[in-house]
Structure 1
Amino acid sequence: MNQVKSVMIVGVGGQGTLLASRVLGSAMLSCGADVKVSEVHGMSQRGGSVVTYVRYGDKVYSPIIEKGEADILLAFEALEAARFLPWLKTDGTVVVNTQQIDPIPVVTGSAVYPENVIKSVQAQGAKVVAFNALKLAEQAGSVKAVNIVLIGAAAKRLSIDKQVWIDTIKATVPAKFVDMNLKAFELGYGAQESELGD
């Protein structure tokens, strides 16, 4: 592990983005990487944007990811993927949950949710891995496991042994939720890009 890699986690308050960043950071640390994590809260209560930066490598000087620097954009919701696309590297990958969560302006009726969000992200040249993480989380046993499903999908695209992720999840989540989260991770890890759909 030499050059610094950057993963940007974007989502909506209440989706478990912070646990996702903790699992990601812990997995990197256990591989001997220098890791910096920075949380940037919008309205972190349910409904507002939450952004977390995770950077790792031999030596990381800053946790901040500038525009055009993210190797992976891990988006818990389609509109968040579109909003933060400028932060992705040219050859970066967007891993996105196709679930649609209406932002406050849509809920209040002052705006409408745009159509074909993921297709428009693809049209801008990004590599996109899009699938219904909510459906897989339900299969694992809880809608709250969306974050670990997404970590599974991202893990497959990061150069860290699968067992490291499994050990990290066991060490990070409460004991009574370990089996469910491991199932969620496996479902995310095996998610096919062909599951694309809005």
Structure 2
Amino acid sequence: MLSKGQVNKVKKLNILIVGVGGQGTLLASRILGTVGLKLNFDVKVSEVHGMSQRGGSVVTYVKYGEKVFSPLIEKGEADLIIAFEQLEALRWVDYLHKDGKMIVNEQEIDPMPVIIGKAKYPGNILDTLKTSYSIYSLNALKIARECGTIKAVNIVLLGVLAKLAGIDKNIFIEAINEVVPAKVLEVNMKAFEEGYNYHN
């Protein structure tokens, strides 16, 4: 795993973004793709929408490297996973590298089987994950709301990722400036700073 200031010394970085439709996972992947380009990496971004428009799972692979041949990340290959809600963290944790780190938004969003009464939302997900994996959990929804909009959950989580990966925060700030619409830029910058300075 990367320590601060080492990003330009490594040859590759595999990031998995998992969540549900409407949480801003795709915007997060665009920002991460822009960051990779600014770091002079070859970048591949692969989005798997699923039933994203109806609240289903959304998965995005972001790969940095000197040369990236495949856009996909296999099980055990992700250096970093951003999980926008707990059940998605549980579903995708097998993709985490043994030395990788997972950032988890503590929010719970009921999938359709739970909504219609066919299943129950699992309990103690974070406690279960933390027994075997390096997990950084936070209430990103609460932080985003305090910043001014619940739509900034994605940017809060990117702030945490920037700190964990040791990537120069100014590169993220440049990427956010380029990708995020001007009318919501100020609140998103605040959300990024809150995530970057968050202590697990």
TM-score interval for Structure 1 and Structure 2 normalised by the shorter chain? over 0.9
| Residue in structure 2 matched with residue 84 of structure 1 by the alignment | 92
Q: Which amino acid aligns with 1:34?
A: D
Q: Which amino acid aligns with 2:103?
A: V
Q: Paired residue for 2:49, among 41, 44, 47? A: 41
| Residue in structure 2 matched with residue 55 of structure 1 by the alignment | 63
> Which secondary structure state, in structure 2, belongs to the residue aligned with residue 62 of structure 1?
coil
2: CA distance, partners of 1:134 / 1:111: 25
1: CA distance, partners of 2:190 / 2:82: 19
1:170-181 mapped onto 2 (5 Å cutoff): 170-181=177-188
Superposition deviation, residue 3 in structure 1: 2.1
| Residue in structure 2 matched with residue 155 of structure 1 by the alignment | 162
2: CA distance, partners of 1:94 / 1:158: 11
Superposition deviation, residue 45 in structure 1: 1.1
Kindly report the root-mean-square deviation, in angstroms, between the aligned alpha carbons of the 2 structures: 0.9
Superposition deviation, residue 159 in structure 1: 3.4
Superposition deviation, residue 99 in structure 1: 0.6
Gap regions ≥5 residues in structure 2: 1-7
Superposition deviation, residue 115 in structure 1: 0.6
1: CA distance, partners of 2:65 / 2:167: 12
Superposition deviation, residue 187 in structure 1: 0.8
2: CA distance, partners of 1:158 / 1:92: 10
> Which secondary structure state, in structure 2, belongs to the residue aligned with residue 95 of structure 1?
strand
> Which secondary structure state, in structure 2, belongs to the residue aligned with residue 90 of structure 1?
strand
2: CA distance, partners of 1:9 / 1:168: 17
| Residue in structure 1 matched with residue 81 of structure 2 by the alignment | 73
Superposition deviation, residue 57 in structure 1: 1.7
1:103-122 mapped onto 2 (5 Å cutoff): 103-122=111-130
1: CA distance, partners of 2:107 / 2:193: 19
2:183 counterpart of 1:183 = no
2:25 counterpart of 1:11 = no
| Residue in structure 1 matched with residue 109 of structure 2 by the alignment | 101
2: CA distance, partners of 1:24 / 1:139: 24
| Residue in structure 1 matched with residue 133 of structure 2 by the alignment | 126
> Which secondary structure state, in structure 2, belongs to the residue aligned with residue 61 of structure 1?
coil
| Residue in structure 2 matched with residue 139 of structure 1 by the alignment | 146
TM-score by length of 1: 0.95
Q: Which amino acid aligns with 1:28?
A: G
Superposition deviation, residue 110 in structure 1: 0.7
Superposition deviation, residue 46 in structure 1: 3.5
1: CA distance, partners of 2:197 / 2:96: 23
> Which secondary structure state, in structure 2, belongs to the residue aligned with residue 153 of structure 1?
helix
TM-score by length of 2: 0.94
Q: Percent identity?
A: 55
Q: Which amino acid aligns with 2:27?
A: L
| Residue in structure 1 matched with residue 5 of structure 2 by the alignment | none
Task: Deviation per CA, 1:30-72: give whole Å up to 9, x if none.
Answer: 1111100001122111420000000002111111000000000
2: CA distance, partners of 1:133 / 1:40: 23
